[in-house]
A = this chain, B = another copy of it.
Amino acid sequence: MASKKNTGKDLGKEFNVVPLKAKKASQKNKFLAHGTIKHIDVTAMPGIVPLVDAMKSMAFSSRDLSRAADIYCRMLNDKKCAVILTLAGSMISSGLKKVIVDMIRNNMVDAIVSTGANIVDQDFFEALGFKHYIAGEELKSGQFDSELREHALDRIYDTLIDEEELRICDETTKQIFDDMEPGAYSSRELVHAMGAYLDSKKGPRGDKNSIIYECYKKGVPIFCPAFSDCSAGFGLVAHAAERGDSPRTIWDGGKDFHEITLIKMNCGDTGIFMLGGGVPKNFTQDIVVCAEVLGMDAPMHKYAIQVTVADVRDGALSSSTLKEASSWGKVDTVYEQMVYSEATLAFPLIAGYALHKNAAKGRKGFRFADLFEMQPA
């Protein structure tokens, strides 16, 4: 990796926790006065059931949503079928963390494939005791972003993050990678190590709800197929820069794909519940084909639902229909439904409906994490 010009190796010695341009925290307060994001608790909302039932006989997105909720119930009722949840977009910072945690607790999800941001920058971040802040309406315009920058406040549309806290999250991932036996790990293994870290600290701080931690306890594997594209990526780079040529912790991205394919080969029937599209959607759909490549005529995903506002006409994967996926042999077309909605509106209704309908009654989790032993390649 080296060159004479500038390798960055020396620079890495002094890992920079405090953002260079941040002003004093005291000045940030005016931006943080709107309080913090609270995660919706659908377990307390049985009123979701008649709402979604009524949507069945309406039109447009409401009927689609009702049908998606019905398909999710079918996945859960189908005892031989494993459920994979995929996450793209800022789902945790937007207040959906507890919905997902409740799904895990109630054996309603068996594997998660996510962008790194949701899992590390947002869920792990909150498990360390930090919060996401509600941004004032006027910040959405972008006219105040330079000022936010001066106070080291990062904006996600209508939400703020304290960058100094995010740097501590980065640093913590580095410490976890520092403490691991050098070797090549899947993101599942690295996230598992983050769960173990939380466990060693007596569980998550803050509101005590953490996807990583809940999955750690319930044997639900989490894959981040673009794992370096998040806070953990900073940790990986800082770890590598510090180690130089010495053995180190490596994220082995191919192992991710291998492991999740083994899960597909192990369980047979699968249903996928997708929030947004992106790499998590594509990666998860592809495991059917990868199983085939490895010589097993694995069945297509039997059930598939997706919540997205992406437009099919841009030709991108995020918006590609689930019917299109069937041409690739990835998704069966009997039980598939796309719901055209921003996720914070539709997801609590779909998950809450299945929860209050007891669709997972008697269902046991697949505990796919137990398939693997923690061992570097």
Contact = CB atoms under 8 A, between A and B. Distances in A.
Contacts of A292: 16, 19-20
A16 B370 CA distance: 28
Given A89-B317, A157-B312, A297 B20 contact: yes
B286 A229 contact: yes
A309 B318 contact: no
A276 B167 CA distance: 28
A230 to B, nearest CB: 8
Interface residues of A, number: 149
A266 to B, nearest CB: 5
A240 interface: yes
Contact of A250 (B12, B67, B252, B311): B252
Interface string A328-352: 1100010000001111111010000
A315 B342 contact: yes
30 contacts: A1-B186, A1-B372, A3-B370, A19-B292, A21-B329, A38-B54, A39-B58, A51-B51, A59-B94, A59-B95, A59-B157, A59-B159, A60-B158, A62-B345, A63-B134, A141-B142, A143-B143, A145-B323, A153-B327, A155-B327, A170-B293, A184-B184, A236-B257, A240-B254, A250-B252, A251-B253, A278-B318, A309-B309, A309-B340, A318-B318
Given A1-B377, A184-B184, A227-B253, 9 more contacts: A6-B371, A12-B295, A115-B279, A154-B327, A157-B313, A170-B293, A234-B289, A236-B253, A240-B255
Interface of A: 1-3, 5-8, 11-16, 19-21, 35-41, 44-48, 50-51, 54-55, 57-63, 65, 67, 88-90, 93-96, 115, 117, 132, 134, 137-138, 141-143, 145-146, 148-149, 152-159, 163, 167, 170, 184, 186, 225-229, 233-234, 236-241, 248, 250-259, 261-262, 265-266, 276, 278-279, 282-283, 286, 289-290, 292-297, 309-318, 320-321, 323-324, 326-329, 333, 340-346, 348, 370-373, 375, 377
